[in-house]
A and B are shown apart, each in its own frame.
Chain A
Amino acid sequence: GAGVSQSPSNKVTEKGKDVELRCDPISGHTALYWYRQSLGQGLEFLIYFQGNSAPDKSGLPSDRFSAERTGGSVSTLTIQRTQQEDSAVYLCASSLYTGAITDTQYFGPGTRLTVL
């Protein structure tokens, strides 16, 4: 079956431009997560969606970052007025969220964002 897909795989933009990154989770997965992985750094949690609940935005680094999840499926992460420090790989993950403590997150391939 299809895994988590993300698009685009690479995005180069100029400082100050807005970008939108897309994530298609595994069908039937109710939980969706966005992470950021900067060069040489670990993964950083950004935002979490679970069903119809209000998203957990506690990891968003600034108000230039926002995310939506329409229809409980596809999600878009938007970065406004991009800065060079936004350059990173943005990873999306989804899970069934069965409530089990061993619920597994499945990761997409990521979008590599480069801000010039």
Chain B
Amino acid sequence: KNQVEQSPQSLIILEGKNCTLQCNYTVSPFSNLRWYKQDTGRGPVSLTIMTFSENTKSNGRYTATLDADTKQSSLHITASQLSDSASYICVVSGRAAGNKLTFGGGTRVLVKP
């Protein structure tokens, strides 16, 4: 069964600090991996998309890494801001029809002043 597991489940950090979120997956055959940010009460918004051949992708203060051999990804947030408080969801797409996505349970990040 295709699965995506994220850790930690939740995280509290001080404003200005860095943090790293982890994602492990078993989806196979692999197509791509995305990180989404979901603010409370809103739909997810795409941060990064990486294919098999990419091992790092940045979007502002967000940097995602991918190791397709070990089936692991991380999302690093640099110099966190209060607006970074949200759930971060790792989403993996397999090479199957329909572009269906397998979602991780998310990591809730709370940035405190």
Contacts and interface: CB of A to CB of B under 8 A. Distances in A.
Interface of A: 4, 31, 33, 35, 41-45, 48, 50, 56, 91, 93, 95, 97, 101-110
Contacts of A50: 98
B31 to A, nearest CB: 5
A103 B44 CA distance: 15
A107 B44 contact: yes
B100 interface: yes
B41 A109 contact: yes
Contacts of A97: 99
Interface of B: 4, 31-32, 34, 41-46, 49, 51, 89, 93, 95, 97-101, 103-106
B88 to A, nearest CB: 12
8 closest Cβ pairs, A-B complex: A107-B43, A43-B103, A42-B105, A42-B103, A102-B49, A101-B31, A107-B44, A56-B98
Nearest to A104: B46
Contact of A102 (B32, B89, B101, B104): B32
A41 B105 contact: yes
A6 to B, nearest CB: 8
Contact of A108 (B43, B51, B95, B99): B43
